[in-house]
Amino acid sequence: MKTTRIPLTGKRRLGLAAGCATLAIALGACTTTTTTRQSFDTHGVMRNSSPSSMSELRIADTALESGNVELATSLYEKAVQADPHSVAGLTGLGNTLYMVGDFTRAGVFYDRASKADAKATAPLIGLARVAMRQRRFDDAIATYQRLLVLTPDEPLASAGLGAALDMNGDHKGAQRVLRQALRKNVGDPLLSVNLGLSLTLSGNPREGANVLLDVTRFPAAPPQARQDLALAYGLLGNREAAAEILSRDLPKASVEDNLRYYDIQRELMSQRAPSISSVLPASSSSSARPAAIPTAQVQTTRLK
């Protein structure tokens, strides 16, 4: 059978770390779009623990991270055949299915893993991510809250809870969770990115842009922070700054598509408070990765 490989960018978004919850705001009117996302898929579900065969499961994890789904699946299946209650193997199978977009079957394996060890966090993260993808936001919120009971102050779980609350329409609740988590995890980029996007999409793009500027001023800032900053600038009517960000990685036609989308959303925001879930697609698309604005005045000047 031919080996299936996932492109590196897809692997990073859908791979295996404790990535909290995805909030992907696809710029739906565009033929080629950026995807503005609250961070959680940049890392994936946590690495497996207590494997029955540590070396083979390490190989499986590495194979999945590099996009070799077929090899990873065969090794995880071997682990589950040896021990049907292997949390590592069951979670790994869930991860492989999640990576290829089979969220329903992924949820089945995450659920089996969670029932095998109720205190294992990796399968819970998988269940929360699946719930987010399937737009079962109440389930995602409950699962992230359960994670925070097990791992208090964990920034990735807090970022996921914030995203789930946002997608469920509770923007104030989301921002309260994210701000509280930032007080205990000062400067955490995932929490900051999610807070910035939440503020932007709840009708306060100026404050959202300022939060995102604090993240994007650093060279190692995650790409989604810059994408979200472009959206904030667009909603503020600063098309030049938004275009500067987008043009680094998108063709001119796609930049113009996104700018027109920003204009439409800006008009809608002037009429009513936006609902994040109302503009979300059923599943997120691949995202382009805009680079930082090269001019220091845009990146480092806070908006008044």
SS3 letters across the chain: CCCCCCCHHHHHHHCCCCCCCCEEEECCCCCCCCEEEECCCCCCCCCCCCCCCHHHHHHHHHHHHCCCHHHHHHHHHHHHHHCCCCHHHHHHHHHHHHHCCCHHHHHHHHHHHHHHCCCCHHHHHHHHHHHHHCCCHHHHHHHHHHHHHHCCCCHHHHHHHHHHHHHCCCHHHHHHHHHHHHHHCCCCHHHHHHHHHHHHHCCCHHHHHHHHHHHHCCCCCCHHHHHHHHHHHHHCCCHHHHHHHHCCCCCHHHHHHHHHHHHHHHHHHHHCCCCCHHHCCCCCCCCCCCCCCCCHHHHHCCCC
Place of tokens 């999945």: 64
35-38/23-26 β-pairing: antiparallel
Q: What are phi and psi of 36, to 5 degrees?
A: -90, 120
Q: How far is CA 157 from CA 124, 146, 219, in A?
A: 10, 9, 25
The amino acid that residue 81 corresponds to is: Q
pTM over 0.75: no
Q: How far apart are CA 29 and CA 79, in angstroms?
A: 45
Q: How much is the pLDDT for 55?
A: 85
Measure CA of the first residue to CA of the last residue in the chain; give whole Å.
59
Q: Where are the domains of the chain?
A: 8-300
Q: How much is the pLDDT for 220?
A: 82
Answer for the pair 218, 36: CB distance below 8 angstroms, yes or no: no
Q: How far apart are CA 128 and CA 136, in angstroms?
A: 9
Q: How much is the pLDDT for 118?
A: 95
Answer for the pair 303, 199: CB distance below 8 angstroms, yes or no: no
Nearest to 299 by CA among 220, 226, 201, 227: 226
- For the chain, list residues with pLDDT below 50: 1-35, 42-44, 46-52, 277-301
Q: How far apart are CA 173 and CA 167, in angstroms?
A: 11
Answer for the pair 290, 248: CB distance below 8 angstroms, yes or no: yes
Place of tokens 């077929």: 70
Q: How much is the pLDDT for 15?
A: 31
> What tokens were used for 193?
């990115």
Q: How far apart are CA 39 and CA 80, in angstroms?
A: 31
Answer for the pair 20, 161: CB distance below 8 angstroms, yes or no: yes
Determine the topology of domain 8-300 in CATH.
Answer: 1.25.40
Q: Which residues of 154-163 are buried (b: 16+ CB within 10 A; e: fewer)?
A: bbbbbbbbbb
Q: How much is the pLDDT for 275?
A: 52
The amino acid that residue 220 corresponds to is: A
